[in-house]
């Protein structure tokens, strides 16, 4: 069964989540015997696209006529690519771009869409089932997809790609495109050059226990030493101590990094919802009764103002000797 993957490469750069999606598609294609095709757009170089072969793609179709992320045009492009390669499964990343295009395409093709997949589908004859995150990380659901064409949005950080040394063939795709109803008039880059939080493997997060925005230096220093992204609890972003995109939890973003370090966060159920699928959780809190300790793998009962700088030192020492 051939699989088509939508890759978004804003400003010519392929995101980590997109590599994961291609690799994930190769795991599906492997099961059923078939090829992985990629569809993308914009100015990303042929060389970068050929490298998607390392993750399992055999062919990449790129539409150079489109330079900005447009919902209606992209839906037409992915539909045209699907028509061309005949794929029965289409994979997206469950990221801002996937959230725009996948539902449109699902309605256009009447193809069942499952969002937030965390593992490779089980395929058994006509049965096609996929496990996903639901209840904002509090539970999993196994979906059954009934339609001939199936669309999956993959949760970032759900699998670790292995690379080969293959190269993908790159060809251009120029389908007829609908009028765009929307135009991009301005772009604002995220402040800081850090890793996007949903894709980060390591995350250092802090809450109201840090007392004020002026104290975030010790959080950022630990994150920098580790190469981690930073996150925060909801009240911290509500009062404006930290930007909104750092807010994790039930009403923020749900993440599943390999390591989540939480300092000065009590561990309310709404916060846990967004982080409890992290592989390893470390909690630093002055209060030994803080509920977060129940969800943690490692805990330090102590003052974040003392513990964080010590951890930073220990990480630097560790990095220097490894």
Partner 1 sequence: MKILVCISKVPDTTTKISFTDNDTKFNEDKVQFIVNPYDEWYALVRGLELKEAQGGSVSILSVGGADYDPIIRKALAIGADDAIRINAEPKDAYYTASQIAAFAKDKGYDLILFGKETIDYNGAQVGGMVAELLDLPYVSIASKLEVSDGLARVERDVQAGKEVLEGKLPLVISCAKGMAEQRIPNMRGIMAARTKPLKVEEAAEVEALVGIEKYSLPPAKGDVKLIDPENAEELIDLLHNEAKVI
Ligand X SMILES: Cc1cc2nc3c(=O)[nH]c(=O)nc-3n(C[C@H](O)[C@H](O)[C@H](O)COP(=O)(O)OP(=O)(O)OC[C@H]3O[C@@H](n4cnc5c(N)ncnc54)[C@H](O)[C@@H]3O)c2cc1C
Per-residue tokens: 192: 């800081």
Measured CA angle at 242 (ends 241, 248), to 5 deg: 125
Short-list 139, 149, 87, CA closest to 118 = 139
Taking CB within 5 to 8 Å according to partner kind, which of ligand X, partner 1, none is near residue 156?
none
Among 104, 180, 303, 316, binds ligand X (CB under 6 A): 303
φ and ψ at 55, to 5 degrees?
-100, 0
Between the CA of residue 243 and those of 100, 213, 252, 266, what are the distances in Å? 23, 11, 12, 20
**Which residues, at least 6 apart from 314, have a Cβ–Cβ distance to it below 8 Å?**
none
* Secondary structure class of 305 (helix, strand, coil): helix
233 binds, among partner 1, ligand X, none (CB under 5 to 8 A by kind): ligand X
Q: Which residue is listed with tokens 């951890």?
A: 311
Residue entry with tokens 């088509």:
4
- Pick one of ligand X, partner 1, none as the site partner of residue 207 (Cβ within 5 to 8 A by kind): ligand X
**Residue 300 C-beta: closest distance to partner 1, Å:** 5
Q: In this structure, are residues 4 and 35 in contact, taking their beta carbons and an 8 Å threshold?
A: no
271 binds, among partner 1, ligand X, none (CB under 5 to 8 A by kind): ligand X
305 binds, among ligand X, partner 1, none (CB under 5 to 8 A by kind): ligand X
Which residue number, 50 or 268, has a Cβ lying nearer to ligand X?
A: 268
For the CB of residue 207, give the shortest distance to ligand X in the complex, in Å: 2
Contacts of 285 (CB under 8 A, 6+ apart): 209, 262, 263, 264, 265, 266, 267, 292, 293, 299, 300, 301, 302, 304
User: Of residues 25, 76, 195, 304, which one binds ligand X by CB under 6 A?
Assistant: 304
> Which residues 270-289 are close enough to bind ligand X by CB under 6 A?
270-271, 274, 284-287
Q: Is residue 265 part of the contact set for ligand X (CB under 6 A)?
A: yes
Quick note: the x/- pattern for ligand X over 193-212, rule CB under 6 A, is --------------xxx---
Query: By C-beta, is 75 or 233 nearer to ligand X?
Result: 233
Query: Whole-number minimum distance, CB 31 to partner 1, in Å?
Result: 19
Interaction partner, residue 111 (ligand X, partner 1, none; CB < 5-8 Å by kind):
partner 1
| DSSP H or E stretch at residue 71 | helix 71-85
Q: Note the residues at the interface with ligand X (CB under 6 A).
A: 207-209, 233-236, 249-252, 263-266, 268, 270-271, 274, 284-287, 290, 303-305
């Amino acid at each position: 069964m051939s699989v088509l993957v939508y890759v978004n490469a804003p400003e010519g750069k392929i995101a980590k989540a997109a590599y994961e999606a291609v690799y994930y598609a190769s795991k599906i294609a492997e099961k059923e015997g078939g090829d992985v095709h990629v569809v993308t757009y914009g100015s990303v170089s042929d060389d970068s696209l050929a490298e998607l072969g390392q993750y399992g793609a055999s062919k990449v179709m790129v539409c150079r006529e489109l330079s900005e992320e447009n919902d209606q045009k992209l839906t037409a492009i992915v539909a045209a690519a699907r028509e061309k390669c005949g794929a029965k499964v289409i994979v997206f990343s469950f990221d801002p771009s996937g959230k725009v295009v996948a539902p449109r395409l699902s309605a256009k093709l009447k193809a069942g869409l499952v969002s937030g997949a965390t593992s490779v589908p089980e395929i058994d004859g006509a049965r096609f089932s996929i496990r996903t995150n639901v209840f904002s990380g509090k539970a999993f659901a196994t979906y059954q997809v009934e339609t001939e064409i199936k669309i999956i949005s993959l949760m970032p950080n759900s699998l670790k790609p292995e690379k080969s040394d293959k190269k993908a063939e790159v060809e251009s795709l120029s389908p007829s495109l609908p009028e765009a109803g929307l135009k991009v008039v301005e772009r604002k880059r995220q402040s800081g050059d850090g890793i996007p939080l949903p894709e980060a493997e390591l995350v250092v997060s802090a809450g109201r226990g840090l007392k004020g925005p002026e104290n975030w230096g010790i959080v950022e220093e630990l994150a920098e030493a580790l190469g981690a992204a930073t996150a925060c609890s909801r009240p911290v972003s509500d009062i404006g101590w930290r930007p909104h995109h750092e807010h994790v939890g039930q009403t923020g973003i749900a993440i599943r990094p390999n390591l989540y370090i939480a300092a000065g966060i009590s561990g309310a159920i709404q916060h846990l919802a967004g982080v409890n699928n992290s592989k390893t959780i470390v909690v630093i809190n002055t209060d030994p009764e803080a509920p977060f300790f129940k969800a943690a793998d490692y805990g330090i009962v102590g003052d974040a103002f003392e513990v964080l700088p010590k951890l930073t030192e220990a990480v630097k020492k560790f990095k220097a000797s490894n």
